[in-house]
């Protein structure tokens, strides 16, 4: 993950250099297009490596609800058996 982020920073640096160029030649323009393609590939890889946090929250909510239900059930059974 750190390598992908470092590569993104490097691509951003080269893009800034390209933006400040007064008269870029065709090779520079092709390199810029290649960097844009690589940037989208890196972003796709990062999205694959980072699962959405919403999924984790849903599991946490379900776990909390089950725990609460078990606690209420235990308290009810304990109260009824006394």
Segments forming the whole domain that contains residue 63: 53-82
Q: Are residues 41 and 60 in the same domain?
A: no
- Answer yes or no: pTM beyond 0.75: no
3-state secondary structure of 36: helix
Scan for tokens 């006394």, then name that residue.
82
Q: Are residues 38 and 2 in the same domain?
A: yes
Q: Are residues 8 and 26 in the same domain?
A: yes
Predicted confidence band of residue 53 (pLDDT cuts 50, 70, 90): low
Q: Are residues 41 and 1 in the same domain?
A: yes
Q: Are residues 40 and 68 in the same domain?
A: no
3-state secondary structure of 21: coil
Q: For residue 25, what pLDDT is reported?
A: 86
Q: Are residues 22 and 46 in the same domain?
A: yes
Q: Are residues 45 and 58 in the same domain?
A: no
DSSP code of residue 60 = H
Rounded to 10 deg, the angle between the 26-49 and 2-20 helix axes is 150
Predicted confidence band of residue 12 (pLDDT cuts 50, 70, 90): very high
DSSP code of residue 59 = H
Q: Are residues 7 and 42 in the same domain?
A: yes
């Amino acid at each position: 993950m750190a390598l992908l982020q470092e590569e993104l920073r490097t691509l951003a640096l080269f893009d800034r250099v390209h933006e400040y160029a007064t008269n870029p030649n065709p090779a520079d323009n092709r390199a810029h297009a290649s960097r844009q393609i690589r940037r989208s590939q890196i972003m796709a890889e990062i999205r694959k490596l980072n699962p959405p946090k919403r999924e984790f929250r849903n599991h946490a909510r379900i776990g909390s609800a089950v725990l609460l239900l078990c606690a209420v059930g235990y308290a009810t059974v304990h109260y009824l058996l006394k």
